[in-house]
Structure 1
Amino acid sequence: MNYLKNVITKFVFMMQKRPGLMAVLAFCSGVASYVFVERKESFSQLISILLLVTWLWLLIDNWLRDKVEERFGVAVSPNVVRFALQVVQQESLFFALPFFLAVTTWDHGQAAFTALIILCAFVSVVDPLYYKKLARHSVWFSVFHSFSLFVVLSVTLPILLKLTTSQSFEIALVTAVILTIPSLGNLMPNAKWWRFPLLVLLLCALSAGLWQLRSFVPPAALRLTDMSVSYQLDEQARKPIEPIQKLTEYDLHQKGLYSFSAVKAPRGLNEKVFHVWVHNRKEVERIALDISGGRKEGYRAWSHKTNFPANPAGKWVVKVVTESGQLIGQRRFEVTEV
């Protein structure tokens, strides 16, 4: 047992000297999972299961350490546990990052959410920031812990269970809070009793706020591969004819406008998707899409708008959204008077 303890201690010491190594490995596994989620489904599922197992291990950490000490007489150093917590958070953030980078709509508020993941991932590998700044503030550290779990669940749940975006989002929010609560004793070892219910309320409030701002959270399992607007559509080929860039009021009233989109969904598209037409930041119509297609080319659909306002000039956006309101992608265009 002393030999095993020495091996673990040496491994932790080695990894602490190379804090970026686990982050690089986690990011690479995330890229591989994103690439192979369709072709090598079992690989992505295996990586997802391993990540969730590490979170389960953290959940039973105290019980597990007591059993190891009781059975083998080996006491696990608090430094090892603290390092393990950091590694799991690193793995979760860097594994999920490629998925969010690939699906983020960068001219939308989603960019802020993905930037937050990048910031958290950066903090997790910079020890002076992680230990001297973040870890010393138990409230912020608990929020960081819960956010890391939410991020990885948002990616792994669709891979493992083929859940819809809405279902994955809801379950990830609730699970992140529930599984953070048993960890509060480790995250806040010397805190007064009344801080625990306050922190639980804070986590619930932040989860409710994130639910209200869910359009700012990229749907990790869905990606817009094509979107265009056109006056005509080839319905047999299910693609637009001569996508246009310049639109005038006269042409809109005479011809109407088709908006075409293709959505990549490696694990299948089992939810309603809508085109939301927005004129000068005001929603004017929401159209449910008739989805068809396959995995390689993406699920293709279109909406045809003919009832434009009397004065349609201005800035328009056609958004592709899920039934829960998460943005898959969007297409901006401007209508001129002449």
Structure 2
Amino acid sequence: MGTLLTQARIAKLQSFVERLVIRLKPWTWLWPPLAFSAGLGSFFLVDRQQWLGAALALGLVFAWLLLLSESLVGRWLANRGYPTLPKGVAAFIAQMIHQETLFFTLPFILITTVWNSGQSLFALLVVAMAVLSIIDPIYFKIADRWRSLYFLFHALCVFLVVLVTLPIMLHLTTGQSLLLAIATTVVVALPSFWHLLKQHSFSGWFSLLAMMLLLAGLAWFGRVWVPPASLWMTGSALSPALNIQQRAPSGSSALTPQAIKEDGLYAYTAIRAPRGLSETISHVWHHNGEPLDVVDLDINGGREEGYRAWSHKLNFPDDPSGQWRVDIMTDSGQRLGLIRFTVSEDAEKATIADSQIRPAGLSRLNLQRFIAGRDRDADQNDEE
């Protein structure tokens, strides 16, 4: 009697899910643009809609369980005479959650990507995943025929939502969020390698462990290609001097060897971060591709125009001529931006350090607000 009652309840729940799916299908085209708009609005809002990030994380866990139910749980229910969801229903629900996740996180990735670096490849991968999620024939073909690839697709969605939402919800640093994102992704990707366990042998378990370690290692060593989705550089400048009271670069000079040895050089950056987030970033100075100095700077989130920080380099090689680069990095090794300049005896070939704050990425839209921004936070400087 109890079994029949349980079967009836499961059948009633599944009937409700089927009716809900039928009603939602005509409106699914609205889902991606709404998700993208929510993500874009969340990025620029001060609080960034923390509740939506939490809802996405829970939705992805739910989708993961649904995907498992189509295979592992579905077979378990069928063997015991319980009804199962019609084929494709779980994939449809998962598709909606994937679309919401990808299009919500897409603005964070596009805005924080340093496009003249390897991060552009990661950003293009996310764009490709978002496009794939709205092309039904390809999406459902992968869901139906290539289950391992499908679970990897879902694992990448989990990676994105953890990377984006944890610094916002829990005020974790980008490094802490990255480690948790990698660990969660490895767990969620486990069903992709489930076939290895069917061998019921030591080699199968060893292969599974090796695949997990390989996946985690690739994610960690490839972190420089992953944009720090909670941080972005709004502007940068090179200058021979700095107005400490106004916290602004000043002066202008051609970067000849004599000029930089006499006055030194300031690298000025403005970094935007969520309110309540404290982070350590680094200015890494390179000369002709060789790293010379690393200056660590502590920043705090919440200032709309970006937290202003600068490093002042005074010690230069005997012959400083050549190509220079200042990498702006997080403490986890993710790139926030870079500043390139040339030092030359020929003033016409040398870069002009003109103190002009040049906006980075999409902050060009807010250039005047950035320059005329109000001083709401304390800022930090350091010297090398």
Q: Which residue of 2 aligns with 1:111?
A: 120
Q: Does 1:52 align with 2:60?
A: no
2-structure distance, mates of 1:203, 1:92: 24
Q: Which residue of 1 aligns with 2:222?
A: 213
CA shift digits 1:22-69 (9 cap, x unpaired) = 222221221122122x1xx3x611111111111222344439989999
**1:278 shift after superposition:** 1.4
CA contact (8 A) 2:282 2:296 kept: yes
Residues 252, 200 of structure 1: alpha-carbon distance in 2 compared, 3 angstrom cutoff: same
Q: Does 1:332 align with 2:340?
A: yes
Q: Which residue of 2 aligns with 1:289?
A: 297
- Structure 2 matches for 1:168-183, cutoff 5 A? 168-181=177-190
CA shift digits 1:259-310 (9 cap, x unpaired) = 1111111233422211001122221111112547861332111111111122
Q: Flag structure 2 segments of 5+ consecutive residues without an equivalent.
A: 1-8, 347-384
Q: Which residue of 2 aligns with 1:306?
A: 314
CA contact (8 A) 2:275 2:302 kept: no
Q: Which residue of 1 aligns with 2:279?
A: 271
**1:75 shift after superposition:** 4.1
2-structure distance, mates of 1:17, 1:204: 42
Residues 333, 88 of structure 1: alpha-carbon distance in 2 compared, 3 angstrom cutoff: same
**1:5 shift after superposition:** 5.4
Q: Flag structure 1 segments of 5+ consecutive residues without an equivalent.
A: none
2-structure distance, mates of 1:141, 1:148: 11
CA shift digits 1:186-240 (9 cap, x unpaired) = x689887147874564343122112112121111111111111100001122110
Q: Does 1:91 align with 2:89?
A: no
CA contact (8 A) 2:142 2:149 kept: no
- Structure 2 matches for 1:1-338, cutoff 5 A? 8-13=17-22, 15-16=24-25, 20-36=29-45, 38=46, 41=47, 44-61=49-66, 62=69, 75-133=84-142, 136-181=145-190, 184=191, 193-194=198-199, 198=207, 201-242=210-251, 246-289=254-297, 291=299, 295-338=303-346
Q: Which structure has the bigger radius of gyration?
A: 2
1-structure distance, mates of 2:149, 2:326: 37
AA aligned to 1:253 is K
1-structure distance, mates of 2:227, 2:215: 17
Residues 75, 291 of structure 1: alpha-carbon distance in 2 compared, 3 angstrom cutoff: closer
- Secondary structure of the corresponding residue to residue 193 of structure 1: helix
2-structure distance, mates of 1:250, 1:270: 38
TM-score, scaled to structure 2: 0.75
CA shift digits 1:299-327 (9 cap, x unpaired) = 11111111112222222111111111111
Residues 135, 25 of structure 1: alpha-carbon distance in 2 compared, 3 angstrom cutoff: farther
2-structure distance, mates of 1:188, 1:83: 23
CA contact (8 A) 1:15 1:21 kept: no
CA shift digits 1:130-176 (9 cap, x unpaired) = 23357523332232221111011101111111100100000111012
| Identity rate, percent | 36
Task: Tell me which moved more, 305-314 or 253-262.
Answer: 305-314
Residues 22, 208 of structure 1: alpha-carbon distance in 2 compared, 3 angstrom cutoff: same
Corresponding pairs, count? 326
RMSD in angstroms over aligned alpha carbons? 3.1
TM-score, scaled to structure 1: 0.85
CA shift digits 1:86-134 (9 cap, x unpaired) = 2222222111111111111111111111111111111121122223357
Task: Tell me which moved more, 221-230 or 122-131.
Answer: 122-131
2-structure distance, mates of 1:84, 1:200: 30
Task: Tell me which moved more, 317-326 or 140-149.
Answer: 140-149
Residues 67, 53 of structure 1: alpha-carbon distance in 2 compared, 3 angstrom cutoff: farther
